[in-house]
Amino acid sequence: MRESLSAIGVQGITVTEVKGFGRQNGTYRVVSRDGVCGRLSAQVKIEAAIKSEMLDQVIEAIEKSAIRARSATKDFRLRFSNKVVRIRTAETGAEAL
């Protein structure tokens, strides 16, 4: 997926291993050191700051990558942010990307 996103101009992504549950209700996992247990599935969270006009290209690249990788799940969720600020330079919007 990284190569597909780079090929269309996405300049950086953040990948985080997370745990959660949805309709499938997860699997049995130990959540914390104090023995609290829950039904959580291992998931991957991918974050990228992109220009809004690239959204369709990014979605298509992710879908194609998942199909090629024969991913067990094709479940994607998108979250939008209206404002991007690069703290170091105080740039905002597209300039910050």
Question: pLDDT per residue over 47-80, tens digit each?
Answer: 888 888 888 999 888 888 877 666 555 567 777 7
Domain-wise residue ranges, the chain: 2-17+44-96
Q: Which of 18-22, 38-42, 58-62, 70-74 has the lowest mean pLDDT?
A: 70-74
CA distances from residue 71 to 43, 44, 74 in whole angstroms, order as listed: 12, 12, 7
| Per-residue model confidence (pLDDT) at position 26 | 54
| Statement: residue 28 has pLDDT above 90 | no
pTM of the model: 0.63
| Statement: residue 29 has pLDDT above 60 | no
DSSP 2-33: HHHHHHTT----EEEEEEE--TT---EEE-ST
Terminal C-alpha separation, the chain: 20
| Per-residue model confidence (pLDDT) at position 19 | 80
| Per-residue model confidence (pLDDT) at position 8 | 93
